[in-house]
Amino acid sequence: MPLKTIQAWKDLPSEARGASVALGNFDGVHRGHQQVIAQAAKAALAGKTSLGVVSFDPHPRRLFRPTEPAFKLMTHAQQARALAGLGVGVFYLLPFDFEMASYGDREFVEKVLVQGLGVKHVAVGFDISFGRGRSGSAELMKAYGEEYGFTVSVAEPVGGASTDGGDEKFSSTGVRDALRDGHPEQAAHILGRPFAIEGVVRRGQQLGRQLGFPTANVEVEDYVVPKLGVYATRTRLPDGREVPGVANLGNNPTTGIVETRLETWLFDFDEDLYGQIIETDLVAFLRPELKFDSLELMIAQIRRDEQQARAIVAPAF
């Protein structure tokens, strides 16, 4: 069955209630998140309930710290696809407003989870916090489960070896740090797949087309901004095709463009993508963004970038 997204928790019909759910923000749906969802899936199978994920829109950080730089790892559409791939049937994308933000941990459980969603099971991560002032914890959720009649499972930390030889916990913060440091392969290790930017292809200055390498331009918008520079990429088109390429992520100082955008040159491809939604994986960081003294120098560097990117994402070409 296709995933159903529900953007409410009050006055839900009976068929939208009674799921076994994983609770959290799940930005990135990384390998740690997947463990929490797996716990909910196990409970759903045992209890013959639907499998749900409860998350929030906007992210609470956006409500409390609206001036912070963008930090999202995925759009809601990407999140829904990732959840569907894990067998999730219901995506409760709950509006996080000042009413919900005012609920203490008990109020949140009673009003949202019990009265609103009628949950049968709640799976959480070991470091969950919920309720006003982040007062709720995994242990408190267990206690509320006993009181209100739903079961609770707690996923233990999931991680791997860090770059300094120790252990690290898979986290959304770890993904963001890896991307900002120019290590998309580390981000992909935590996510279980490459970090990808999805958006509508916008019409730019068309300078690349004039110079022989037309680019598909997508605004970064609410995504965390990875290290600016040039990346080897793979882009998924609306029809499902995947095309290798090379992209500049940045402000394009040579041509004077200032807003951060992803400009992707799709190799051996010449079709009109304007107005279409594409999704581009950042596979490998090649070099920082540079300002060139002439277009000739820029073209020569792009050709070198092309060769390096082809060796990574299109070795057969």
Residues taking part in catalysis: 263
Q: What is the DSSP string of 148-216?
A: HT-EEEEEPP-EEE-TTSSEEE--HHHHHHHHHTT-HHHHHHHHTS--EEEEE-B----HHHHHT--EE
Residue with structure tokens 């900002």?
180
Cα atoms found within 13 Å of the Cα of residue 310, Cβ hemisphere only: 12
Contact 93/16 with Cβ under 8 angstroms? Answer: no
CB atoms within 10 A of CB 248: 25
Tokens of 3: 């995933």
Distance CA 2, CA 78 (A): 14
Distance CA 262, CA 202 (A): 10
Distance CA 147, CA 141 (A): 10
Kindly list the distances between the CA atom of residue 212 and the CA atoms of 47, 207, 263, 269, in Å, as whole numbers in the listed order.
59, 9, 14, 12
